[in-house]
Structure 1
Amino acid sequence: MDLDKVSFNGQIVDMTEDEDTMAVEAHVRALVLLEDALKKKEWLLLDREIEYEKSQELDPNCPFLHQQLVLNLFHKLQEVQLLKNGDSAGKTYVYPNPDSVNIFLGQSFWESKEYLEQWSRPGTLILAASQILGYRNVAGTLTASDIYAAFETWMNHNGIYKNGIYTCCGEALRDSVCKESSMSHSLLPYMNEFDETDLKKATLDILWDCQKKCLLVEHIEKPQALLAIPEFPIITTSLVQELIEKLKQVKFKCDTRADKIAYTDPRTRNIIYVGNHFWKQKDYLSCGSRLGTIILYVAQLLEHPHLFDGATKDITSETTVEHQGSNSPRSFQEPLNESIHNHDRDPPLPLKNSTPSNIGDALFNKSKSETYGKCKHTADTICAAFEKWMSHKGSYENESYTCCMETARHSVCNKSVMRSCLSELESRLKDFV
């Protein structure tokens, strides 16, 4: 009897036919996942091992992996033999030794999930291979648990597998990782400080100016008055204050691979990702402007639903169409289960449904008459309120706008359509006294 079996006191037993099938399938899936990550290395992996501290500058919460590490995992998993720990309460064990080729599968393995997700059989095998290669739970280093989380959480698909493809990225391969995952987003570079400062200042100027020019509402004591006037979007003072506070926290990342204007990932905090088309938008507030896009995605970060997720905002038209490691060995005979998630990283936030049900276009006043005060805004209509209803209609000539003589370039218009609508609303409210 070899040393591995002696250490388990003769508890290695044959798998049942079903268990053997499950183990083989999980083994194949883990290998395919590792191979797919290597194929998508441009989106998901660092090209070489870099200092741990340097990788944390990109995203301190993300467990970045380099290509050679994933290749080592692939080669190790090709070598391993899967055995069954016969102890009914047994855990899954490995020998933390690069020469080891055995993974001892405990009862928890058979109860894990079939496809890659949290607590899955393929993920468990990737964790086991990481431990065999010597990755330990040591502060300040990449751990086996980090590698496990990198695949099960950070690289995994956000969408569901339906009709032969993943809804998030269109990938047809069932056992695959995602180009649009949080890992991909975390690898993106931050916008240069100069551009970010300019964009944030210009957008904040717009938000502060609409407060200054009283283009907002506080509270409508008689919301039935809204039914007597044409539809227009109602923006409250509290909403604008929330937009201001959130924008101050936002960071921007540049995704030159994305054929879109911008997007957010609900699993990452306070980040707006801008694509190549973002820079083709208009400089100043109007339909199809960069400042309007920022307002839209800041609103989405505030959890106002974006009804046109995945689409883009029309750049040229005046209509908003669809705004869119350590090599030290572990202690002998180490249980996997105790080390899973035994790390101090914050996982990505869970996704929230971005499309409301049965609320219609609730920002416009005829439906707001029933929901006023509950603020069932959408990010799209918040954006439209600024780009279409508050923006200047005149041109900027001789250092002022021809419509209202405002000199501030990044401003809203005191003679805008929004001002007319609010004046009519004020008049109607007097009729209800």
Structure 2
Amino acid sequence: MISGQNTDTTDMDLDDMSFNGQSVNMTEDEDTMAVEAHVRALVLLEDALKKKEWLLLDREIEYEKSQELNPNCPFLHQQLVLDLSHKLQEVQLLKNGDSAAETRVYPYPDSVNILLGQSFWESEEYLDEGSRPGALILAASQILGYSENILDTYGAGTLTASDICAAFETWMNHNGVYRNGIYTCCGEALRDSVCEESSMSHSLLPYMNESDETDLKKATLDILCDCQKKCLLVNLIEKPQALLTLPWFPIITTSLVQELIDKLKQVKFKCDTRADGMKIAYTDPRTTNIIYVGNLFWKQKDYLSRGSRLGTIILYVAQLLKHPHIFDGDTKDITSETTVEHQGSISPRSLKETLNKNIHNHNRDPPLPLKNCTPSNIGDSHFSKSETYGKHTADTICAAFEIWMSHKGSYENGSYTCCMETAPYSVCNNSVMRSCLSELQSCLKDFV
């Protein structure tokens, strides 16, 4: 029950409650805000229980064991959320008469009173970091005996009350916005709800089978190491002005490939087998070394080419290295549509023929895009090719391997028909990238 009317402190044993401050009557607006926050907190807890399959641990699973999934994530048991809901249904909300006081709860596990300070009324209305519903979940956790932080002594278990609050306000909360009656991240219509596509959900997904992970890592590392052996990479270009005479192509440096190799060795894979089936793969900004793969990932091609599993891994390792999908400023990413979704199409043979024509044409065409369209930045006086070389997006890095370095022949009878390479997970000595780099070397040699 929430009280905004009968809060006379003479009815309470203040010595037993041991709090600093005095409860006073709430205004009508404050009472309305408190009631709404109370209802929202209860609805959020109920929604988490409805979505327990994606957001909560089974009671039987030990909390310490769950930390193997993601040591930074505050996993919650179903029973804990149920206990929070029951406790919040019993509490009485009181207003602290000290205007400088923070929201607080009486430090006794059996208390049913939550004293609200001035910061409560100034908090966010809906679930978010520093929200009113989150504050009530924090208080209910303390009533259950969880310490506010790890330094307190009366807490229960490994979790703290702050962890439990963060589980809702940060880890289970929607990443999208509520627009036109639904959340943009997951399509949920309930305004006061938690998200099945949240970071908590991603953290609870199972790791990939160890043998599959080992095979994928080894194959991708073979690709990255092979491009080093075949000299399809460049070091720092001392004369970047020479690049202005060339059609655009993705220059991949030795240092970038080494970064990809080092990061891939740290990466773990998790499987998202949920029914939507729309995601090939993705990363979560809160997890620095995890790539999540969906059901469609396994339907991609085995060998390196457009729409391959190995190219997908390279793309998302690049994302983990903080390479964006678009360049900063006005310069657009001309390969944004060559990601693992592979929208549109282009013939590799046509691409190579066009490139060769450009290379041998002194009146050079504009920078060559990776798709049959004209980048919006062509002809823009503020756009400099020499400045964009080396400023890769994750997509251009992926395309460099899937399109520019990959074999154009098929792998038959133990070798590729285009160059007779016997290693199945390799790049091609006769690739488009080889032609580009040969022309680059010529330009650098002749450039004055």
Q: Please indicate the TM-score interval, normalised by the length of the shorter structure.
A: 0.7 to 0.9
Change (3 A) 1:360 1:79: farther
Q: CA deviation at 1:201?
A: 0.8
Change (3 A) 1:76 1:5: same
Distance 2:377 2:215 in 1: 32
CA contact (8 A) 1:223 1:372 kept: no
My pick for the range that moved more, 378-387 or 163-172, is 163-172
**CA displacement, residues 273-315 of structure 1 (integer Å, 9 cap, x when unaligned):** 0000001111110111000000000011111113569x85249
CA contact (8 A) 1:253 1:271 kept: yes
Q: Which amino acid in structure 2 is aligned with residue 131 of structure 1?
A: Q
Tell me if 1:264 matches 2:283.
Answer: yes
Tell me if 1:276 matches 2:295.
Answer: yes
Find 1:398's aligned residue among 410, 413, 421: 413
CA contact (8 A) 2:282 2:292 kept: yes
Q: CA deviation at 1:368?
A: 6.2
**CA displacement, residues 192-218 of structure 1 (integer Å, 9 cap, x when unaligned):** 211111111110110111111111111
Tell me if 1:313 matches 2:341.
Answer: yes
Secondary structure of the residue aligned to 1:253 is strand
CA contact (8 A) 1:199 1:291 kept: yes
CA contact (8 A) 1:288 1:316 kept: no
Q: CA deviation at 1:9?
A: 7.6
Query: Which residue of structure 1 aligns with residue 145 of structure 2?
Result: 134
CA contact (8 A) 1:96 1:131 kept: yes
Secondary structure of the residue aligned to 2:430 is coil
Query: Which residue of structure 1 aligns with residue 3 of structure 2?
Result: none
Query: Which residue of structure 1 aligns with residue 308 of structure 2?
Result: 289
Distance 1:62 1:143 in 2: 12
Tell me if 1:378 matches 2:393.
Answer: yes
Find 1:81's aligned residue among 79, 85, 92: 92
Q: Which amino acid in structure 1 is aligned with residue 392 of structure 2?
A: H
Q: CA deviation at 1:142?
A: 1.9
Q: Which amino acid in structure 1 is aligned with residue 447 of structure 2?
A: F
Distance 1:205 1:10 in 2: 67
Aligned identity (percent) is 81
Q: CA deviation at 1:176?
A: 1.4
Q: CA deviation at 1:378?
A: 1.0
Distance 1:318 1:251 in 2: 32
Q: Which amino acid in structure 2 is aligned with residue 180 of structure 1?
A: E
Distance 2:178 2:75 in 1: 25
Unaligned segments of structure 1, at least 5 residues: 321-358
Tell me if 1:411 matches 2:426.
Answer: yes
TM-score (norm 2): 0.81
Secondary structure of the residue aligned to 1:224 is helix
Distance 2:436 2:84 in 1: 63
Find 1:16's aligned residue among 4, 27, 34: 27
Tell me if 1:52 matches 2:63.
Answer: yes
Distance 2:313 2:269 in 1: 10
Query: Which residue of structure 2 aligns with residue 180 of structure 1?
Result: 197
Find 1:143's aligned residue among 160, 175, 200: 160
Change (3 A) 1:376 1:4: farther
Tell me if 1:64 matches 2:91.
Answer: no
Q: Which amino acid in structure 1 is aligned with residue 288 of structure 2?
A: R
TM-score (norm 1): 0.83
CA contact (8 A) 2:146 2:157 kept: no
Query: Which residue of structure 2 aligns with residue 119 of structure 1?
Result: 130
CA contact (8 A) 1:263 1:297 kept: yes
Tell me if 1:155 matches 2:155.
Answer: no
Please tell me the root mean square deviation across aligned C-alpha atoms, in Å. 2.6
Tell me if 1:199 matches 2:227.
Answer: no
The number of equivalent residue pairs is 390
Distance 2:342 2:388 in 1: 30
Query: Which residue of structure 2 aligns with residue 300 of structure 1?
Result: 319
Distance 1:371 1:10 in 2: 62
Distance 1:73 1:306 in 2: 41
Tell me if 1:28 matches 2:47.
Answer: no
Alignment of 1:329-348 (within 5 A): none
CA contact (8 A) 1:123 1:148 kept: yes
Distance 1:292 1:361 in 2: 26
CA contact (8 A) 1:288 1:317 kept: no
Tell me if 1:251 matches 2:279.
Answer: no
Find 1:211's aligned residue among 221, 228, 240: 228
Q: CA deviation at 1:413?
A: 0.3
Distance 1:360 1:15 in 2: 58
Which one has more relative contact order, counting CA pairs under 8 Å at least 6 apart? 1
